[in-house]
Structure 1
């Protein structure tokens, strides 16, 4: 792992590239943002909170920060879907989100957009990925892979995020 502190200019640029206003706000208001580079991904940590990760040139919010925002009662501006109970275990084990497993589209999305997946209870997010089809197609077709699973509860990014929160960077 390689650790590097971001300059104020880099933090401003990063906060502008994120389409999620709550995450941009956290980056802008942070005293310190650290970039942790691992073999397969990079993790951005703002004041001890893992907020973003970069995988294959794409920035995604961490499940950690999405769930923190949700638990604070803040509305999260990322597109997301709610899945049915039968989809939860396969998703946590790494499966992609299949269209029939989506019970509700909470916020519409376009193909290629970053999308979060919420547990059927509505209490927490379980997956972050990118859309393989438009939300309109998910509703009309009701078959095939809808969202590529890139980050899930209990994966390496999740475990590292929890370690950072517990022990620091």
Structure 2
């Protein structure tokens, strides 16, 4: 999604949202990530203005105090940026890819089932349904390297062990990561 994202060319504009819209966004984010409840005031303070950065391809980025925190596409679910995920690593389920998959994940490739079912990979114990947002860890690394969405359930990934299992949405050194680092 953000492989070739460029802040000068891809941002169409930004608008400060009304307090009612800000409450709505905050509520949706808390519904998706209940573990953020104790930290929500740090991330999305009620008194600070919230901006929606409109990008091409119908992507919206939630920005507070000049920091990009969450994004969504076509009014779909909110995804945390990797900076938020690194600060609050336990807000979502984790999937681990083996060492062989790391270089492909960092080049925007979707995660294949064998990359998470091999000895270096790891899937959650519970059966997560399709379209669940997950943090993608790398074998031997401390922080998440990507944010993804399950294309099939965890049980299907384990049994099929073939094809694309997780869509790679946002990864280290993509355009959004670089835009945040430049801020």
TM-score by length of 1: 0.83
Q: Partners of 2:141 and 2:124 in 1: how far apart?
A: 11
> How much does 1:13 deviate?
0.7
Q: 1:145 to 1:86 in 2, by over 3 A?
A: same
CA radius of gyration, larger in: 2
User: How far apart are residue 119 of structure 1 and its match?
Assistant: 1.8
Structure whose residues are more often strand by fraction: 1
Q: Distance in 2 between matches of 1:50 and 1:89?
A: 25
Q: Secondary structure in 1 aligned to 2:56? A: coil
Does residue 1:20 correspond to 2:33, yes or no?
A: yes
Report what 1:99 is aligned to: 113
Q: How many residues align?
A: 159
TM-score, normalising length: structure 2: 0.78
Find the partner of 1:52 among 44, 62, 70.
70
Are 1:82 and 1:122, in contact at CA under 8 Å, matched by a contact in 2?
Answer: no
> How far apart, CA to CA, are the structure 2 residues paired with 1:142 and 1:84?
14
The answer as to 2:81 corresponding to 1:35 is no
1:107 positional shift: 6.4
Provide structure 2 residue ranges, at least 5 long, that are not aligned to the other structure.
1-10
RCO comparison, higher one (Cα < 8 Å, 6+): 2
The answer to whether the 8 A contact 1:81-1:107 is kept is no
Is 1:69 aligned to 2:80, yes or no? no
